[in-house]
């Protein structure tokens, strides 16, 4: 769920990708975004208004004159209610009509009447996309401040391959949330988030690592993006898709994470270390794969660098503490030893939260001794609770 409820007006136009717009509408609604849908006559040939109405529970506007679900002057009412207009899929025809100021269908007319941010996700055959007309029109939209998402290359409905596929749902949603959040309470702030469990090589194929999924850090990166921050996510290996609209720096070892963080931290307003950094690494990783020649094998370990403990940059510094006993005492000791503003502590013995799970139950402790035990909630909601406190500390 987003921190503050936002409202998006989704314009669907005549492209085979129109069927994907139904999933897009439903995914926005799932994230707590209010969605209204408007369709061109051509779009209704590909997917019916009823599909959207059933998925999002509000009436769809398809005509400037015959339908009155948005009141007597639908284009003005719809435009006034929306925080952003997203046109997905945007056909070549629709893009051309918006650029040239046509206003004879509800999508073009409402877009013209709207003063807020416009996001356009083109979808069409490659030749149409690459045509001089469409390229020029897209350039004009961009120069007027629109955000153009995609298109991507891949299989086209016509059977061929090429540029023209509508961007993935995740990409469109990620960039739209970034646009919606651009004036949020972290606007203009630079936030570094680390995530995932580092891997320390034993030999070329084996490593010492831990069971961190990276989900908590990725949720913080997305939440900070949606509140207007410019986010750098320094990520150890995970199986998660990189968040859209976030600068991702991939690292493997604790030393690489230290170097990437050190380079960026001086310009950052906040450093949020959600990564599970290995405390020890093999002292002498083998250059060749170790063969099973001995009945036992001892691998000497040495300490890795303590990233939070050795870097001083960033106005607000947040650490995480994964504890299996004496949660508050251990977390408080880390907070003062590493000179943190906040520490987010969780009990790793809980079976319904934490490592690998979608949810987390954390206690947030601040440098003045304030202790806030939060209920079990999604990692995204935990992320927003942490960022609420970061915002207060920055202001
Ligand atoms: N951390 C770090 N560098 C390390 C180890 C940890 O920056 N080499 C950061 C983690 O990202 C986390 C915080 O320090 O934000 C606390 O991590 P944790 O592993 O719980 O604490 P440690 O200081 O390593 O203490 P211990 O493992 O003994 O509990």
By the 8 A CB rule, do 134 and 100 touch?
A: no
The reply to whether the predicted model has a pTM over 0.85 is yes
277 close to ligand 1 (CB < 6 Angstrom)? yes
Nearest CA to ligand 1 atom 9: 308
By the 8 A CB rule, do 344 and 386 touch?
A: yes
Query: Mean pLDDT across the chain, nearest whole number?
Result: 92
What residues act catalytically?
A: 210
212 close to ligand 1 (CB < 6 Angstrom)? no
Q: Are strands 316-323 and 118-122 parallel, antiparallel or unpaired?
A: unpaired
Give the pLDDT of residue 75: 76
Same structural domain, 151 and 243: no
Same structural domain, 132 and 229: no
For the domain that residue 319 is a member of, what is the CATH number? 3.40.50.10300
Say which residues have a Cβ less than 8 Å from residue 295's Cβ, sequence separation at least 6: none
Q: Is the pLDDT of residue 2 over 50?
A: no
Domain of residue 96: give its range.
Answer: 7-181
Same structural domain, 54 and 104: yes
Among 364, 366, 370, which residue's Cα sits nearest to residue 386?
A: 364
Among 342, 290, 297, which residue's Cα sits nearest to residue 321?
A: 342
CA distances from 313 to 89, 112, 148, 271, 308 (A): 43, 46, 35, 8, 10
8, β-bridge pairs: 35, 84
Report which ligand 1 atom has the smallest distance to the Cα of 337. Answer: 23
Q: Is the pLDDT of residue 26 over 80?
A: yes
Same structural domain, 262 and 381: yes
pLDDT tens, 55-102? 988 889 998 876 566 676 777 788 888 999 999 999 999 999 999 999
For the domain that residue 117 is a member of, what is the CATH number? 3.40.50.1950
For residue 358, what pLDDT band results from cuts at 50, 70 and 90?
A: confident
Same structural domain, 192 and 172: no
By the 8 A CB rule, do 98 and 141 touch?
A: yes
Q: Is 149 domain-assigned?
A: yes
Give the pLDDT of residue 63: 85
By the 8 A CB rule, do 322 and 346 touch?
A: yes
- What is the count of structural domains for the chain? 2
Half-sphere exposure of 195 (CA within 13 A, CB side): 31
319 close to ligand 1 (CB < 6 Angstrom)? yes
Taking the centre of ligand 1 as the mean of its atom positions, its distance from the CA of residue 222, in whole angstroms, is 23
pLDDT tens, 157-172? 777 788 899 999 999 9
Which of 181, 209, 239 is at the close of a domain? 181
Distance CA 159, CA 40 (A): 25
Mean pLDDT of 199-210: 97
Among 222, 199, 201, 219, which residue's Cα sits nearest to residue 209?
A: 199
Q: Is 2 domain-assigned?
A: no
**Three-state secondary-structure class, residue 37:** strand
By the 8 A CB rule, do 146 and 121 touch?
A: no
Same structural domain, 356 and 213: yes
For residue 353, what pLDDT band results from cuts at 50, 70 and 90?
A: low
Q: Is 119 domain-assigned?
A: yes
Give the pLDDT of residue 76: 76
Nearest CA to ligand 1 atom 28: 279
Give the pLDDT of residue 70: 63
Mean pLDDT of 103-118: 94
Residue 144 corresponds to which tokens in the numbers above?
């007027």
279 close to ligand 1 (CB < 6 Angstrom)? yes
Q: Is the pLDDT of residue 4 over 70?
A: no
Same structural domain, 168 and 249: no
Same structural domain, 224 and 173: no
Taking the centre of ligand 1 as the mean of its atom positions, its distance from the CA of residue 258, in whole angstroms, is 12
By the 8 A CB rule, do 241 and 232 touch?
A: no
Same structural domain, 22 and 126: yes
Same structural domain, 261 and 132: no
Taking the centre of ligand 1 as the mean of its atom positions, its distance from the CA of residue 284, in whole angstroms, is 22
Same structural domain, 303 and 365: yes
Mutate to test the pocket of ligand 1, among 234, 256, 305, 320 (most ligand atoms within 8 A of CB): 320
208, β-bridge pairs: 200
**Three-state secondary-structure class, residue 97:** helix
pLDDT tens, 128-142? 999 999 999 999 999
Q: Is 124 domain-assigned?
A: yes
Taking the centre of ligand 1 as the mean of its atom positions, its distance from the CA of residue 261, in whole angstroms, is 15
Same structural domain, 199 and 76: no
Give the pLDDT of residue 234: 98
Give the pLDDT of residue 81: 85
Which of 181, 209, 244 is at the close of a domain? 181
Which of 165, 181, 197 is at the close of a domain? 181
């Amino acid at each position: 769920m987003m921190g503050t409820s936002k409202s998006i007006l989704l314009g669907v136009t005549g492209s085979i990708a129109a069927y994907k717009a139904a999933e897009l509408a439903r995914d926005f609604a799932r994230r707590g975004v209010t969605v209204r849908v408007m369709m061109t006559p051509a779009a209704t040939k590909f997917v019916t208004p009823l599909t959207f109405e059933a998925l999002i529970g509000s009436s769809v506007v398809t005509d400037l004159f015959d339908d009155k679900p948005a009141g007597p002057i639908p284009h003005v009412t719809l435009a006034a209610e929306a925080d952003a207009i997203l046109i997905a899929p945007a056909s070549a025809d629709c893009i051309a009509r918006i650029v040239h100021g046509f206003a004879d269908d509800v999508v073009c007319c409402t877009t013209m009447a709207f003063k807020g941010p416009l996001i356009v996700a083109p979808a069409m055959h490659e030749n149409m996309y690459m045509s001089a007309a469409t390229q020029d029109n897209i350039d004009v939209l961009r120069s007027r401040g629109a955000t153009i998402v995609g298109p991507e290359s891949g299989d086209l409905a016509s059977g061929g391959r090429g540029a023209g596929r509508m961007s993935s749902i995740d990409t469109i949603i990620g960039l739209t949330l970034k646009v919606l959040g651009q004036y949020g309470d972290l606007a203009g702030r630079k936030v570094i988030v680390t995530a995932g469990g580092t891997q320390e090589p034993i030999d070329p194929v084996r490593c010492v690592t831990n069971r961190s999924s990276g989900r908590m850090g990725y949720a913080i990166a997305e939440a900070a993006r949606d509140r207007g921050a410019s986010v750098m996510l320094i990520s150890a290996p995970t199986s998660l898709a990189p968040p859209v609209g976030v600068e991702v720096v991939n690292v493997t070892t604790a030393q690489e994470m230290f170097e990437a963080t050190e380079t960026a931290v001086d310009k950052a307003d906040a450093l949020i270390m959600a990564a599970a950094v290995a405390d020890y690494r093999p002292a002498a990783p083998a250059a060749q794969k170790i063969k099973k020649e001995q009945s036992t094998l001892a691998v000497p370990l040495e300490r890795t660098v303590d990233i939070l403990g050795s870097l001083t940059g960033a106005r607000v510094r947040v650490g995480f503490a994964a504890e299996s006993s004496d949660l508050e005492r251990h977390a408080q000791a880390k907070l003062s030893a590493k000179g943190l503003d906040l520490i987010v502590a969780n009990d790793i013995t809980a079976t319904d939260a934490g490592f690998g799970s979608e949810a987390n139950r954390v206690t947030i402790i601040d440098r003045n001794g304030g202790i806030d035990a939060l209920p079990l909630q999604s990692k995204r909601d935990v992320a927003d609770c942490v960022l609420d406190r970061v915002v207060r500390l920055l202001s």
